[in-house]
């Protein structure tokens, strides 16, 4: 049995894993062509043909609509911008409640707050890490107007069940599919079965344009409202007879021509890049099934998984070693990209102290907030316990993993697991 690197032994991984980089010659040529043209953006914040952007933006949007199988795809300069636009487009009013999982990136909830609406945090499914339908039902109130479901780590939530709840209670559904482009929910692409969905294009996603996002919808009214919010809605609303002015407070959420040109090339690679992640996950899962105390990712029967993150649950009780010490031992072997826990957004100071806009507690401490919404620790017990004790994520999104790399990752885990008895003996010192 080899001595752990944590105690002075030789590392398994001596050369850092290669950083993930899907950008190649095609993107370089596409961006160069745009730069040479001098037309880096063609958006105009007024009612004319260029209100919808330049040729590369429109081509990218058309290609995305075709790829994702939707009527409309709308590009934005970040996925945070996309979430803000989506919440506004479905008609959320100040004081309305929107249910959102706590196990997500903070922007999912902040986009709700942006419109002076109230995030209500739901717990997660213990197997998939996606929002729990049971927790959604417990979180409903007479003020609930929408659900924001997050397709976390690469797999769709149970969108059919969520849409059924929404139909029963007359709610809108937004899917935040930032991490899961290219995966499937049944025959449909993940993120396309809600009222509005969309994907992140920031630098460590499956495909990226540096920063950016794509909104998708099959609703013509939402499509128009998303385009208006993206591009100075208030300046052009006068040119649209009978337009609903609610939430037509416009922004500059526009994507440039360089990013769109890169996106056109990136989209062509998405399926192959997802397949490479799925292969890597399969290799890890086949190996980890021989290691005690590890629960590997659960992929539901109707779904595929694009593995932005490879999620692991550690049975720290049976292992007799803390997650923190296991992580330290793996890192000492040269394995980076490991995260203890993920997110409990409801425990951020903004929600614990209920201070967002200004210093007086708006919107919670105002007439628009119709009840006292609870953000105390304990409201999302599964997400909280996973974050505190059991969840270990391997951020495969950060690395370009070939079979040699995957073998090294497996060897690092094998070495640590072979030394669990030693780790138990020294656990009090770490």
Strand partners, 305: 155
| pLDDT in the model for residue 1 | 62
Confidence at 67, pLDDT banded by 50, 70, 90: very high
Least confident of 137-151, 237-251, 298-312, 320-334: 237-251
Contact 148, 112 (CB under 8 A): yes
Confidence at 13, pLDDT banded by 50, 70, 90: very high
**pLDDT tens, position by position, 272-285:** 999 999 999 999 99
Provide CB contacts within 8 A for 28, sequence distance 6+: none
Contact 210, 260 (CB under 8 A): no
Confidence at 426, pLDDT banded by 50, 70, 90: confident
Q: In what order do the strands lie in the sheet with 97-101?
A: 118-122, 97-101, 144-150, 172-176
Residue ranges of alpha helices (H) inside 175-232 are 220-230
Residue 132 to residue 130: CA distance in whole angstroms: 6
Residue 251 to residue 230: CA distance in whole angstroms: 5
Residues 234-259, mean pLDDT to the nearest whole number:
93
State the residue for tokens 């190649």: 24
C-alpha to C-alpha distances, 275 to 56, 181, 406, nearest whole angstrom: 27, 12, 15
| pLDDT in the model for residue 250 | 85
Q: Name the percent of the chain lying above pLDDT 90.
A: 97
In this predicted structure, the answer to whether residue 230 has a pLDDT above a threshold of 80 is yes
Residues 308-328, mean pLDDT to the nearest whole number:
97
**pLDDT tens, position by position, 293-312:** 999 999 999 999 999 999 99
Handedness of CA 283, 131, 106, 195 (dihedral sign): positive
Closest C-alpha to 154, from 189, 187, 119, 122: 189
Structure tokens at 239: 């040119």
Contact 373, 351 (CB under 8 A): no
Residue 201 to residue 79: CA distance in whole angstroms: 7
**pLDDT tens, position by position, 19-37:** 999 999 999 999 999 999 9
Determine the distance from the C-alpha atom of residue 58 to the mean position of all C-alpha atoms in its chain, rounded to a whole number. 24
In this predicted structure, the answer to whether residue 430 has a pLDDT above a threshold of 80 is no
In this predicted structure, the answer to whether residue 348 has a pLDDT above a threshold of 90 is yes
State the residue for tokens 């779904």: 303
Residues 12-17, mean pLDDT to the nearest whole number:
96
In this predicted structure, the answer to whether residue 286 has a pLDDT above a threshold of 80 is yes
The architecture in CATH of the region 25-266 reads: 3-Layer(aba) Sandwich (3.40)
In this predicted structure, the answer to whether residue 252 has a pLDDT above a threshold of 70 is yes
Closest C-alpha to 408, from 336, 351, 327: 336
In this predicted structure, the answer to whether residue 241 has a pLDDT above a threshold of 90 is no
Residue 29 to residue 331: CA distance in whole angstroms: 38
**pLDDT tens, position by position, 103-150:** 999 999 999 999 999 999 999 999 999 999 999 999 999 999 999 999
Domain locations in the chain as residue ranges: 25-266
| pLDDT in the model for residue 49 | 93
Looking at residue 252, what DSSP letter applies? Answer: B
User: To the nearest whole number, what is the mean pLDDT of the chain?
Assistant: 97
Residue ranges of alpha helices (H) inside 232-348 are 233-236, 257-288, 316-319, 323-332
**Predicted structure pTM score:** 0.97
In this predicted structure, the answer to whether residue 428 has a pLDDT above a threshold of 90 is no
């Amino acid at each position: 049995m080899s001595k752990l690197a944590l105690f002075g032994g030789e590392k398994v991984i001596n050369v850092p894993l290669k950083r993930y980089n899907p950008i190649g010659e095609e993107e370089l040529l596409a961006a160069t062509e745009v730069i040479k043209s001098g037309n880096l953006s063609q958006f105009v914040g007024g009612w004319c043909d260029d209100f919808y952007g330049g040729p590369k933006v429109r081509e990218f949007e058309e290609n995305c609509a075709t790829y994702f199988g939707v009527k409309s795809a709308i590009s934005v300069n970040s996925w945070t911008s996309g979430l803000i636009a989506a919440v506004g487009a479905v008609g959320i009013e100040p004081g309305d409640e929107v249910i959102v999982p706590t196990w997500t990136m903070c922007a999912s909830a902040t986009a709700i707050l942006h419109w002076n609406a109230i995030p209500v945090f739901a717990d997660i499914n213990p197997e998939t890490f996606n929002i729990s339908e049971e927790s959604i039902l417990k979180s409903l109130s007479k003020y609930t107007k929408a659900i924001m479901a997050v397709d976390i780590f690469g797999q769709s939530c149970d969108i059919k069940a969520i849409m059924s709840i929404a139909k029963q209670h007359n709610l809108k559904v937004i899917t935040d599919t930032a991490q899961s482009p290219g995966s499937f929910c049944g025959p449909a692409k993940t993120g396309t079965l809600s009222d509005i969905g969309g994907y992140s294009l920031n630098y460590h996603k499956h495909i990226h344009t540096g920063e950016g996002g794509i909104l998708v919808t099959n609703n013509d009214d939402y499509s128009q409202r998303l385009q208006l919010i993206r591009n100075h809605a208030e300046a052009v609303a006068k040119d649209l007879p009978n337009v609903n002015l609610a939430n037509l407070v416009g922004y500059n959420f526009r994507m440039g021509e360089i990013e769109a040109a890169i996106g056109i090339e990136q989209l062509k690679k998405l399926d192959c890049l997802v397949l490479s992640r799925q292969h890597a996950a399969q290799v890890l899962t086949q190996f980890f099934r021989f290691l005690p105390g590890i629960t590997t990712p659960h992929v539901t029967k109707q779904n595929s998984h694009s593995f932005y993150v490879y999620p692991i649950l550690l049975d720290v009780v049976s292992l007799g070693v803390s997650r923190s010490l296991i992580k330290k031992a793996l890192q000492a072997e040269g394995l980076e990209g490991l995260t203890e826990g993920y997110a409990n957004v409801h425990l951020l100071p903004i929600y614990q102290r209920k201070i967002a806009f200004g210093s007086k507690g708006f919107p919670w401490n105002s007439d628009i907030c119709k009840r006292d919404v609870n953000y105390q620790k304990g409201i999302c017990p599964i997400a909280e316990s996973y974050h505190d004790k059991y969840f270990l994520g391997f951020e495969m999104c950060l690395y370009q993993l070939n079979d040699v790399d995957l073998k090294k990752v497996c060897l690092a885990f094998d070495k640590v697991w072979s030394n669990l008895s030693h780790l138990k003996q020294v656990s009090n010192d770490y």
